[in-house]
């Protein structure tokens, strides 16, 4: 009986969480649809959440491309298919690694920042202050971050894709003597432009996940400083898990024909 109760309670908690996040996304979409967007705040958030993430995206993308090339280039040359390395690196990066890794590092940075900021605002009654002034926290706080990251995450992903391919190209050249021309020719012949675009569609979904989960966790913070820490950790962990799940689902939907 107690196990059943636990399952029931957990199910109710999950449904409440999922409903809350869906409601937050729905309300945000309504404000965006009515163009009730705070433009200056959106630019400010695009800088804070997007532009300020470029170094971390650069480093993770660079080393991911480099290690991928390191693992595949020598063996590919040994099997006489060194001319395919560029294509393999670019193909995997644009479709899977680029969007997912960029989203994961941005979730760690921006998602945590959103949850911590909103959590602190809850604890210091600033969210209630907004409501008491007749202002919606969704419009004032969530919508600018959502619009900012929907714009910035695909840009960061393209940036990460390019850096990853360049890193792979460098290592392939140094480590397996694959020329830059051969590498780039392989990239051009193997990677359809449509795959890059579909990879960016993933980024749009990941941006919504990062902001929605970070905002929901932050706005539902309970308790003091410990509550803020819990909300922040919860936001990062939940976002990353959802990014992996949605990445699989989106790959299945977007790349099914190619597969």
Partner 1 sequence: MPEVWARLEDVSIRYGPKVVMQNLSLDIVDGAITCIIGLSGAGKSTILRLLNGLKRPDAGRVFVRGQEISTLRERDLISIRQTIGFSFQFAALFDSLTIGENVALPLREHTKMSGEEIDKLVSETLESVGLGNVESRYPSELSGGMVKRAGFARAVISNPQCVLYDEPTTGLDPIITHILTNTIKKLRDRLNGTAVVVSHDLGSIYMMADYVAMLFEGAIIAYGTVDELRRSPNPIVQQFLQGSEVGPIPI
Nearer to partner 1, 77 or 140 (CB): 140
Q: Which residues bind partner 1 (CB under 8 A)?
A: 124-126, 128-129, 131-136
User: What are the distances in angstroms from CA 172 to CA 1, 22, 61, 187, 259?
Assistant: 60, 45, 16, 13, 26
DSSP character at residue 108: I
Tell the smallest beta-carbon distance from residue 69 to partner 1 (Å). 43
Nearer to partner 1, 32 or 58 (CB): 32
142 vs 180: CA distance, rounded Å: 44
User: What are the distances in angstroms from CA 65 to CA 56, 101, 225?
Assistant: 14, 11, 39
Nearer to partner 1, 127 or 178 (CB): 127
Q: What angle do CA 62, 117, 26 make, to 5 degrees?
A: 90
Tell the smallest beta-carbon distance from residue 47 to partner 1 (Å). 14
Nearer to partner 1, 5 or 181 (CB): 5
Q: What angle do CA 14, 17, 19 make, to 5 degrees?
A: 105
């Amino acid at each position: 009986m107690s196990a059943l109760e636990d399952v029931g309670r957990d199910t109710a908690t999950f449904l409440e969480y999922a409903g809350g996040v869906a409601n937050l996304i729905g309300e945000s979409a309504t404000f965006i649809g009515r163009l009730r967007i705070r433009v200056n705040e959106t630019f400010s958030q695009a800088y804070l959440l997007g532009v300020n993430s470029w170094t971390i995206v650069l480093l993770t993308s660079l080393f991911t491309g480099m290690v991928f090339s390191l693992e595949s280039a020598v063996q590919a040359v040994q099997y006489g298919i060194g001319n395919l390395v560029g294509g393999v690196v670019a193909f995997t990066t644009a479709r899977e690694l680029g969007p997912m890794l960029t989203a994961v590092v941005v979730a760690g940075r921006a998602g945590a920042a959103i949850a911590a900021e909103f959590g602190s605002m809850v604890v210091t009654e600033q969210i209630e202050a907004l409501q008491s002034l007749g202002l919606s926290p969704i419009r004032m706080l969530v919508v600018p971050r959502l619009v900012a990251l929907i714009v910035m995450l695909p840009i960061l992903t393209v940036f990460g894709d390019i850096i990853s391919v360049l890193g792979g190209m460098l290592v392939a050249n140094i480590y397996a003597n694959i020329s830059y021309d051969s590498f780039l020719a392989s990239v051009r012949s193997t990677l359809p432009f449509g795959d890059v675009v579909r990879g960016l569609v993933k980024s749009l979904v990941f941006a919504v996940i990062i902001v929605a989960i970070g905002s929901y966790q932050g706005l539902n913070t309970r308790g003091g400083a410990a509550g803020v820490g819990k909300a922040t950790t919860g936001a990062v962990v939940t976002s990353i898990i959802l990014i992996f799940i949605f990445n699989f689902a989106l790959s299945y939907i977007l790349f099914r024909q190619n597969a």
